[in-house]
C-alpha cells in the first residue's frame, strides 16, 4: 500500500496533492515532448510510434490472453507487469493504442494497469512527471 506521504524531489507530498497535480497534468497537455524538463525529439517519437510500435502490438494481440487471463498461470506475475508497464508510459505521452484494431491488447493492458496495486503508482508517476523541474 502506498504510504500517506510520498517524497517528491526535496519535499513531502500527500496522495491528495499528487492526485490534484495528476488531474492538472491531464488538462494541460504540452505541445512539446518533455521528460524531466528536457525537450524530446518529436520526429523520433513520431517515427517510433509509426514504425516500431505496430509490429509489437500485432505480436501482443496474438500473445495476450483473451477474456481476463494472465500471461503465465492463473495469477498476476512479473510477466504481466513487464508487458503492461510500458503502456503506462504511453499514457504519459498521449500515445494511444487503438482498441478497435488491438482489442485484446487494449483490454488486457487496461485490466492490468487498473489494478489498485499498479494504478496508485501510475497516478503518482503522472503527478511527478507533470511537475516542472526547479
Compare 131 and 77 and report the one with higher pLDDT: 77
Domains assigned to the chain: 5-130 (1.20.1050)
| pLDDT at site 128 | 83
Do residues 33 and 39 touch, judged by C-beta distance below 8 A?
yes
| pLDDT at site 35 | 62
Q: Residue 48 and residue 40: Cα distance in Å, rounded? A: 13
CA atoms within 13 A on the CB side of 28: 13
**Confidence band for 34, pLDDT divided at 50, 70 and 90:** low
**Confidence band for 17, pLDDT divided at 50, 70 and 90:** very low
Amino acid at each position: 500500500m502506498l504510504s500517506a506521504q510520498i517524497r517528491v524531489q526535496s519535499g513531502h507530498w500527500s496522495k491528495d496533492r499528487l492526485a490534484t497535480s495528476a488531474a492538472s497534468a491531464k488538462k494541460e497537455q504540452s505541445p512539446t515532448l518533455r521528460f524531466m524538463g528536457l525537450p524530446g525529439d518529436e520526429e523520433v517519437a513520431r517515427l517510433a510510434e509509426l514504425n516500431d510500435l505496430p509490429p509489437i502490438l500485432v505480436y501482443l494481440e496474438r500473445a495476450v490472453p483473451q477474456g481476463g487471463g494472465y500471461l503465465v498461470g492463473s495469477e498476476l506475475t512479473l510477466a504481466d507487469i513487464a508487458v503492461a508497464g510500458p503502456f503506462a508510459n504511453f499514457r504519459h505521452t498521449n500515445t494511444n493504442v487503438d482498441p478497435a484494431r488491438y482489442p485484446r491488447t487494449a483490454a488486457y493492458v487496461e485490466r492490468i494497469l487498473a489494478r489498485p496495486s499498479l494504478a496508485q503508482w501510475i497516478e503518482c508517476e503522472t503527478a511527478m512527471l507533470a511537475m516542472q523541474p526547479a
